[in-house]
Amino acid sequence: MDLFESLATDTTAEETGKWFDLDGNAGIKLRSATSTASKNLRRELEKPYAAQLRLGKGLSEKVSEELFIKQLSGAIIVDWKNITYKKEPLPFSQENAERMLRELPKLREIIAVLITDESAFKLTLAEEQEKN
């Protein structure tokens, strides 16, 4: 097994974000779920539930969903381009992202798939050699 081919990731893209095409025109820039910003925000969001989590009690579905929305809008979605809502341009902001994530559960699903895809932030040997 070649460890580089199997496990190397573009750490810069994981931390600063990578553009993902949504439809050939619109795109969304996402950080990895394991980025420092994402992990730090998640830790901060979970603080009010620390005792519950320490006791091994899971969070309710409603609370988990709320934390996920805040994590996505606050640390994972970095930007978007050519996004409209009801035929009107929708500029990127954390507030707009959070609103769309609440109103459109399918958007949460799409982003979850993108950031959990093992190949999404994968670094190829050619890319590594190009950087050096």
Per-residue pLDDT tens digits for 48-75: 988 888 888 888 999 999 999 999 999 9
Q: Establish if 44 belongs to a structural domain.
A: yes
Burial of 18-54, coded b for 16+ CB within 10 Å and e otherwise, reads bebebeeeebbbbbbbebebbeebbeebeeebeeeee
Number of domain units in the chain: 1
Q: Establish if 11 belongs to a structural domain.
A: no
pTM of the model: 0.88
Q: Establish if 30 belongs to a structural domain.
A: yes
Q: Establish if 58 belongs to a structural domain.
A: yes
Give residue 61's domain range: 16-120
Q: Establish if 73 belongs to a structural domain.
A: yes
Judged against a pLDDT cut of 80, whether residue 18 lies above it is answered with yes
Helix or strand holding residue 64 (H, E): helix 61-71
User: What Cα–Cα distance (Å) separates residue 53 from each residue in 3, 40, 49, 56?
Assistant: 34, 16, 6, 5
Model confidence at 19, in pLDDT bands (50, 70, 90)?
Answer: very high
Q: Establish if 107 belongs to a structural domain.
A: yes
* Alpha-carbon radius of gyration of the chain: 17
